[in-house]
A and B are shown apart, each in its own frame.
Chain A
Amino acid sequence: MVASPRFARWASLLAFLAFWQFVVPFFPTDLIPSPARVLQFMWDEVRGITLARATVWEAFGISLRRLSLGFLLAFAVGVPIGLIMGVSRAIENFFQDFVVVGLAMPSLVWALLTGVWFGMGDGAPIVTVFLAAVPFVIINTFEGVRDVPKDLTDMARAFQVSRTRTMRHVILASLMPFFFASLRYGLANGWKGLVLAEVFAATEGAGWTIQYWRDAHRAQGVFGYALFFVIFALILERLVFQRFARRVFRWRPEIGAETTISEMAADQFREAATDTDEEE
């Protein structure tokens, strides 16, 4: 038998579904819904049939808007801080501990705190996304600035290439992989924080809705939403990140079809993390 990676992955999925179906009868009532019930719930949601206040489309739409706003804010604040940290030792030392604490802080803390500060509404989720994402944006931008190839900027100066052209084609271009890593890790961490913040401090959105199904004792709703989260993450990864990465990193021969962007970003993140460790 040929054990292709594709086969192994499908086999694992089927084994999981079979196991799930198998354990359902051992639990009382509705605590564990069957795969079929969960799928039925999801299908209804997708078609807009729901008992909740909003359909899955509306709930995710609200969450996505909050995620985008929070992340744009994190990018707008994090990139300049990362840039100045990269060029000044003093500023690096000034921000360093905050960044390290920020990277280590569970998003749950931000979700709880912002709930206290902003109450119910858009404020807590957006600010949580911002706080959860901004350290990743800062650290990656900072690493990127450290990594700007001096031999290329010298070359541009020697050939009297204008500052704006050098900025765009040398400096920003060399920062692209680092911006990409910021995007990937910032969004991932921001999303986790967002869902928590919506559970505690929102009256709508994906996090609020999964909470709603829990309160309604509809296990299929909780399961279904958990799967929606997974699907959402997969879509983001496959359709957005991977395509974007292939476009942006066409020139890198090592980024082939087999290298996923998450692997590349993970490498970069590890480098960033070890560098921070060394400096402590």
Chain B
Amino acid sequence: MADVKVENLRKIFGSGPTAVRALQDVSFEASGHTFVSIVGPSGCGKSTLLNIMTGIETPTSGSVTITEGGSPARLGYVFQSARLLPWRTVMDNLLFVQQTRDEEARKRCMRFLEMVHLGDRADNYPGELSGGMQQRVGIARAFSIEPDVLFMDEPFSHLDAITARTLRRELHELWKETKKTVIFVTHDVGEAVELSNRILVFAKGGILADDIEIDLPFPRDSADEAVALAKARVLKRFEDLNLIAS
């Protein structure tokens, strides 16, 4: 079981009077089979938090520890765009990030491609696939390394509503089946409510303003009354925090 521990994280860009506080004393924990969404308006430090958690940036102070049974956890990523190597086939894109490239790895990649319904596209180049299919490959790639913790940075924001909806369902299935810890960044409250058991609401200035548990059965339909109510509740918190201009 993976443990994610974020302690007193602070990030300041620049120094002196022009310094920008991107994150202010952010602390939270998550572990096991959980789906945590991080929501907030643009400029609230969501991406900075993700970059620090994934090691792309270093914090000004504070720490992030992500472990699996005491040792460092293996991390998977899904980005805003698919970020596939255009000169490699779909299968080779998955193999590119594997630690070994033996028959076993190939089979594992194929299994995840089939889970996102792209088993028959393994030999295609990314340029021959639609945007939604490419993002599916990105998701299959992240799951194929069998990570302990999966980070996703607004993975559906570039897709049309219908494709995004289908992919959200597939993602939920994958999460249910693989029992991973998912840290999911989004600006879409509806999406967060539909997918997560927990929503961390960030306010401008990089303040972790609220930690909301969503205790509803899956699968969740945005048309469902309970889901709509939960969404309204989170949006209300946004308003209370002055996150939405009235």
Which A residues form the contact surface with B (CB < 8 A)?
151-152, 154-159, 161, 165, 169-170, 173-174, 176, 250-253
Knowing A159-B97, A161-B97, the reply to whether A151 touches B86 (Cβ < 8 A) is no
Q: Contact check, A155 vs B77: say whether CB atoms are below 8 A apart.
A: yes
Chain B neighbourhood of A174, CB < 8 A = 87
Which B residues form the contact surface with A (CB < 8 A)?
54-56, 75-77, 79, 81, 83, 85-88, 96-97, 125-128, 145
Q: Contact check, A251 vs B87: say whether CB atoms are below 8 A apart.
A: yes
CA–CA, A158 and B97, complex, Å? 10
CA–CA, A166 and B79, complex, Å? 18
Q: Contact check, A158 vs B56: say whether CB atoms are below 8 A apart.
A: yes
Partner of A158, one of B77, B81, B85, B87: B77
Q: Return the chain B residue nearest A254 by Cβ.
A: B127
The 7 A-B residue pairs with the shortest CB-CB distance, nearest first, are A159-B97, A251-B125, A155-B83, A251-B87, A253-B127, A158-B77, A173-B87
Q: Contact check, A251 vs B127: say whether CB atoms are below 8 A apart.
A: yes
Partner of B96, one of A161, A176, A251, A253: A161
Chain A facing B: main interface SS? helix
Chain B neighbourhood of A173, CB < 8 A = 85, 87-88
CA–CA, A161 and B79, complex, Å? 16
Q: Contact check, B56 vs A159: say whether CB atoms are below 8 A apart.
A: no
Partner of A165, one of B55, B96, B145: B96
Knowing A155-B77, A158-B56, the reply to whether A251 touches B88 (Cβ < 8 A) is yes
Q: Contact check, A170 vs B85: say whether CB atoms are below 8 A apart.
A: yes
The minimal Cβ–Cβ distance linking A178 to chain B, given in whole angstroms, is: 13
The minimal Cβ–Cβ distance linking A72 to chain B, given in whole angstroms, is: 25
CA–CA, A173 and B92, complex, Å? 14
Chain B facing A: main interface SS? loop
The minimal Cβ–Cβ distance linking B34 to chain A, given in whole angstroms, is: 21
Chain B neighbourhood of A250, CB < 8 A = 125
CA–CA, A174 and B75, complex, Å? 26
CA–CA, A173 and B84, complex, Å? 13
CA–CA, A252 and B127, complex, Å? 7
Chain B neighbourhood of A161, CB < 8 A = 96-97
Q: Can you list 25 residue pairs at the A/B interface with Cβ under 8 Å? A: A151-B79, A151-B83, A154-B56, A155-B83, A156-B96, A156-B97, A158-B54, A158-B55, A158-B56, A158-B75, A159-B76, A159-B77, A159-B96, A159-B145, A161-B97, A169-B85, A169-B96, A173-B85, A174-B87, A250-B125, A251-B88, A251-B126, A251-B127, A252-B127, A253-B125
16 further A-B contacts with Cβ under 8 Å, apart from A154-B56, A159-B77, A251-B127, are A152-B85, A155-B79, A155-B83, A156-B96, A158-B54, A158-B56, A159-B97, A159-B145, A161-B97, A169-B85, A169-B96, A174-B87, A250-B125, A251-B126, A252-B127, A253-B128
Knowing A158-B56, A169-B96, the reply to whether A251 touches B79 (Cβ < 8 A) is no
Chain B neighbourhood of A152, CB < 8 A = 83, 85
Knowing A151-B79, A151-B81, A151-B83, the reply to whether A169 touches B88 (Cβ < 8 A) is yes
Chain A neighbourhood of B96, CB < 8 A = 156, 159, 161, 165, 169
Chain B neighbourhood of A170, CB < 8 A = 85
